[in-house]
Amino acid sequence: LIFFSSSKDLMEFLNPNSSDCTLVLFYTPWCRFSANLAPHFNSLPRAFPTLRFLALDASQHSSLSTRFGTVAVPNILLFQGAKPMARFNHTDRTLETLKDFIFNQTG
């Protein structure tokens, strides 16, 4: 799980010429929903070792949040390269629903 301190770092990491999949969590430290989701999100790299997982503090990166349509947190986007491919839209944010989302999107 990777945390970025700058928007530039994230955009360099999400290489447009890559086919790698990356799951990005937009969160804020004071949001109780983000806090409830964190343990589930943090356990995903063990279940999906070939995917990359990033967490981004949306309050520190409002331009990226706006760019990717994040109006509320927590928000999870699946990227392929630098292109957002799918948004996790479930209100039931459990490890199982997150795993199902990843399986359904990545095959």
pLDDT one-digit tens code per residue, 50-84 = 999 998 888 886 666 666 777 778 999 999 998 99
pTM of the full predicted structure?
0.86
* Rounded Cα gap, residues 91 and 26, in angstroms: 15
Q: Which CATH architecture has domain 2-106?
A: 3-Layer(aba) Sandwich (3.40)
Q: What is the pLDDT of residue 45?
A: 96
- Do the Cβ atoms of 36 and 93 come closer than 8 Å? yes
- Do the Cβ atoms of 42 and 63 come closer than 8 Å? no
Domain boundaries, given as residue ranges, for the chain: 2-106
User: How many residues would you count in the chain?
Assistant: 107
